[in-house]
Structure 1
């Protein structure tokens, strides 16, 4: 049985832009859209406490503003990627940009929790259309020249690696100087430019042929990803052994296993397994998932340290990440444009992971009386250099050598792996933090209520998180060194 809904599939790659200039203008448009999606993963977090006071919702409800977006985005990415292959990348990209802008406007104007939550879920839905369409269009636009492709993915990777930190800075500025609502309204400005640029500069392929959508695989994938993301989201508040943590995760894993079996049998699978099982692409998906887990140690727990221990304002906290952004951009563009076309990802990704691990290890030396310049800045620079060597090469590798009509779903897997890795990182590191604080206070029970003891417990938990994150990046270094092939990446299918 092959369940189904009639859709369209392109048989050939998107036509290259009319000239080299058009290709680079297309890159600007695609990078803007990627920036909008990445910014939204952190900029709203900065605005949440203020939004909570303004709209009067509970702390328990607050997590759903984040979780609602993550659930919609993470669970629908594979479907969004396949639809971009079936219906046309440019169409899905434009629809995603427009829908994301409308959802952001609704969220910014929200008068209560329900409206804000619905807007965030809608943002996740449209981001799941937008993100894979952008990456797949980048892949087919720069499919002819390995050097140009490396340079383009280096720039795109720099946006991916630095966007989260930039969101912290922009969120702090907008919340402090304007309103938390502008953390959502700012998307309207970015979306307007991206929409106009997409209409003017993006090129799509030939008119697709009619095929059937893998309906059973779609249902299994969406429900499976919902279960995994939802269960991991509950781990922080409910604990790892709670039914609402274990139950959804187990159900999600079972459904995803069923999804793999379905994909082996249908004529037009949602995810052709050859995309996932290619050695280079498989290594890329695994690397981005593991690195996504470790990244949260930087953006989440270091933010807590800067604000709660060093007493920086939200704007100062965001600005503290700017040197890391600079380091990411420099190494991402250089490694993508100069090194990757010659060496391939095998030496670059492991080295980037080692640098990220070193940066995490350096952060274990922070103390209550540390300064930003002496204790945090060197570690951020080293970590940024590492991130820049990871993201561009990994995104390039994840979409290399795929058939043009499978570029969308290959791109969706990059975002899916990063989303699942981020969910695991949030759950695991939050759990480790709670355990470390409880153990520290139990050991110092006589002075457990003293501010100095509480501060010591917080620092002990931060150190544990950074050590574990360092181990995560070292693990990724070893696996990527083993799994990636030596030599330049294949661009077109063999």
Structure 2
């Protein structure tokens, strides 16, 4: 296409870098808090019962607002939505760092969750539609996958460093300069897309139903471990959240301008990719959560040492996602790479199921984490490419919000189920006379095997639903495509 195309390409990669930095900042924040919770508890005098709300106050609005924020990106422009979310996220992060009471930190974390949802909802849609050339599109999605997975692996390390060397306040302060850079660069480099206009899809009732339903569902999940999965409270809240979500589906089927057009699910690849992601993330959360617990509670690692233990997986994900996945997808196609990646993740979980009380990091943990990183680095870009390839640019914000929502709910449900299994298994082993360390290891082994089961189910669903390209679907990465308009101008 000549010189103008080259300029567009350079500008597009700078835009993608900004978007991926924003995604990484948000993902890091979701994980950086965990290692600092004991310090936060001492610093602000949190009770043990209320400490969990440092996490939950963020997760509930984040999971509940993603669909609405994604749709708003389609209607009023993804640039406006992204930068507004970054600004709100950055300001609320500063407020979190300056909090002096339990109530203040919980309130500001809630606002931070709102900002995180608004900022992240449109990122994948913008990244996936930046290029029309298959290999560049695969590279862009690979960069997004690295930002998401790498942020999850870097979070515990950065949290340990900041907490040990400075104070817990800095796990929040660090977001402010990053957010400022994102806003300054984004204002100049991300072209404003006008959107379809609010008159094209202001389904207020649908927005209320999906936001209330998702927030209540996430709250029910995170509260179930305390209240009990079989308690009247959990059952009633669960039924109410399901009723709200069913009402949302009915509303979308009848609304003149639906928030989430149900026709988007006619795409088998989009539907399959979201189901696969749900099951894969449900299992993957077990690695970060229970892997950290194993390193600290069984092997005696400090928060900083536990964070350093996850560096190999971050390096592998970066190498595969940024260096090899695009070439492999272009050469072999998205489906084979997705299936291979899922198989490697399953193998990694099986390896983790052999951890020992007297384990050695380079034998019991690091090899499995490397295989896990290799599998995720292959599977995630292929999965996202399959899902996003079948939607139009006008629907990309909605599809991006859907992907993020699936990820959040999959992680919340998966972690809740795995935690329940670990709690029950630990109690059983302790009652059988096992030591505390042996009981924990046995419970973590069960969690890793269940995680393997989740990902195996994802693989079976993927193979069943993605047997061949859909009729009329967009070409896969290894096939030629017609150019489409780039979102960024020189």
With the shorter chain as reference, the TM-score category is: over 0.9
**Is 1:155 aligned to 2:143, yes or no?**
yes
Counterpart contact for 1:136–1:410, Cα < 8 Å? yes
Counterpart contact for 1:350–1:478, Cα < 8 Å? no
**Greater displacement, 483-492 / 124-133:** 483-492
**Is 1:197 aligned to 2:179, yes or no?**
no
Counterpart CA distance in 2 for 1:335 and 1:416 is 27
Aligned to 2:472: none
Counterpart CA distance in 2 for 1:35 and 1:465 is 27
Aligned to 1:468: 450
Counterpart CA distance in 2 for 1:408 and 1:212 is 13
3-state SS, counterpart of residue 33 of structure 2: helix
Aligned to 2:282: 293
**Is 1:478 aligned to 2:486, yes or no?**
no
**Is 1:36 aligned to 2:25, yes or no?**
yes
Root mean square deviation, CA, Å: 1.9
3-state SS, counterpart of residue 19 of structure 1: helix
* Partner residue of 2:237 out of 242, 248, 257: 248
Counterpart contact for 1:401–1:492, Cα < 8 Å? no
**Is 1:489 aligned to 2:471, yes or no?**
no
Q: Unpaired segments of 5 or more residues in structure 1?
A: 1-15
Counterpart contact for 1:17–1:141, Cα < 8 Å? no
Residue 17 of structure 1: CA displacement?
A: 9.8
Residue 212 of structure 1: CA displacement?
A: 4.4
1:100-158 CA-to-partner distances (Å, cap 9, x unmatched) read: 0001000010011111111111111111111122222112222x211110011111111
* Partner residue of 2:409 out of 416, 420, 423: 420
Distance 1:276 1:120, change over 3 A: farther
Residue 205 of structure 1: CA displacement?
A: 2.4
Distance 1:44 1:108, change over 3 A: same
Aligned to 2:249: 260
Counterpart CA distance in 1 for 2:366 and 2:348 is 10
**Is 1:406 aligned to 2:388, yes or no?**
no
- Please give the residue correspondences for 1:58-137 in structure 2 after superposition, counting only pairs within 5 Å: 58-137=47-126
3-state SS, counterpart of residue 141 of structure 1: coil
Residue 340 of structure 1: CA displacement?
A: 2.1
Residue 255 of structure 1: CA displacement?
A: 1.5
Counterpart contact for 2:142–2:381, Cα < 8 Å? yes
3-state SS, counterpart of residue 230 of structure 2: coil
Residue 439 of structure 1: CA displacement?
A: 0.9
Aligned to 2:271: 282
Counterpart CA distance in 2 for 1:492 and 1:115 is 52
Aligned to 1:140: 129
Residue 227 of structure 1: CA displacement?
A: 2.1
Aligned to 1:371: 360
Pairs aligned (count): 472
Counterpart CA distance in 1 for 2:334 and 2:107 is 40
Residue 96 of structure 1: CA displacement?
A: 0.7
Counterpart CA distance in 1 for 2:271 and 2:483 is 15
Q: Unpaired segments of 5 or more residues in structure 2?
A: 470-474, 485-490
- Please give the residue correspondences for 1:332-371 in structure 2 after superposition, counting only pairs within 5 Å: 332-371=321-360
Aligned to 1:9: none
Counterpart contact for 1:166–1:322, Cα < 8 Å? yes
Aligned to 1:397: 386
1:296-350 CA-to-partner distances (Å, cap 9, x unmatched) read: 1100001001011111111111111111111112222345411223443211112
Distance 1:146 1:22, change over 3 A: same
**Greater displacement, 482-491 / 95-104:** 482-491
3-state SS, counterpart of residue 200 of structure 2: strand
**Is 1:46 aligned to 2:41, yes or no?**
no
Counterpart contact for 2:128–2:140, Cα < 8 Å? no
Counterpart CA distance in 2 for 1:73 and 1:146 is 31
Residue 211 of structure 1: CA displacement?
A: 2.7
- For normalisation by structure 2, the TM-score amounts to 0.93
The runs of at least 4 aligned residues of structure 1 exceeding 6 Å deviation read 490-494
Counterpart CA distance in 2 for 1:364 and 1:21 is 45
Aligned to 2:487: none
Counterpart CA distance in 1 for 2:273 and 2:6 is 27
1:250-269 CA-to-partner distances (Å, cap 9, x unmatched) read: 21122211211111111211
* Partner residue of 1:181 out of 155, 165, 169: 169
3-state SS, counterpart of residue 264 of structure 1: helix
Aligned to 1:325: 314
